[in-house]
């Protein structure tokens, strides 16, 4: 069964979000778009919080957040309990975020990666899983 995906962005990530959303749906994923819905300047917390809340509540299994650097959306998302948002700018980081950190939101830096790479990173993130074992002990120490 395909995981349900929450997606959101600010204005800097809008084009990537729209393309990723179409790509995800065409690959059979159920996707909910939490905005933004235009290229007009927008505040990333307004979209990162709802995506993170939907993952935190387990309404959605995984999330994708996009902003210019990925830092802002990652900082916001990681304020939520049981959310582990990882900034990924290559496929290997996406794999490690899932394998070792049990990350459940991938954060993409739209101003620093191509759209094609964003798609590859997202694909890798969605197809990898947590290794558990020694990593379980570490992940269990994250929440405050």
Tell which residue, 4, 3, 12, 1, has the closest CA to residue 107: 12
For the question of residue 49 being annotated catalytic, the response is no
Kindly name the residue from 9, 67, 88, 107 that is annotated as catalytic. Answer: 67
Q: Is the peptide bond before 36 cis (omega within 30 degrees of 0)?
A: yes
Q: What is the dihedral of CA 70, 83, 125, 36, to 10 degrees?
A: -50
For the question of residue 100 being annotated catalytic, the response is yes
Tell which residue, 125, 64, 60, has the closest CA to residue 96: 125
Kindly name the residue from 11, 99, 100, 135 that is annotated as catalytic. Answer: 100
Residue found by looking up tokens 């290794």 in the block: 131
Tokens matching residue 39: 């290229």
32 CB-near residues (< 8 Å, 6+ apart)? 4, 5, 6, 7, 54, 60
**Catalytic positions, written as ranges:** 67, 100
């Amino acid at each position: 069964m395909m995981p349900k995906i929450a997606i959101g962005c600010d204005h800097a990530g809008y084009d990537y979000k729209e393309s990723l959303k179409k790509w995800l749906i065409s690959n059979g994923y159920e996707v909910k778009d939490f905005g933004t819905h235009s290229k007009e300047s927008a505040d990333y917390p307004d979209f990162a919080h709802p995506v993170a809340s939907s993952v935190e509540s387990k309404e959605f299994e995984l999330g994708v957040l996009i902003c210019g650097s990925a830092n802002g959306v990652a900082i916001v998302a990681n304020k939520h309990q049981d959310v582990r948002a990882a900034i990924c700018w290559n496929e290997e980081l996406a794999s490690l975020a899932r394998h070792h950190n049990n990350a459940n939101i991938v954060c993409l830096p739209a101003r620093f990666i191509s759209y094609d790479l964003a798609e590859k990173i997202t694909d890798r993130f969605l197809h990898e899983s947590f290794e558990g074992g020694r990593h379980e002990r570490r992940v269990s120490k994250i929440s405050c």
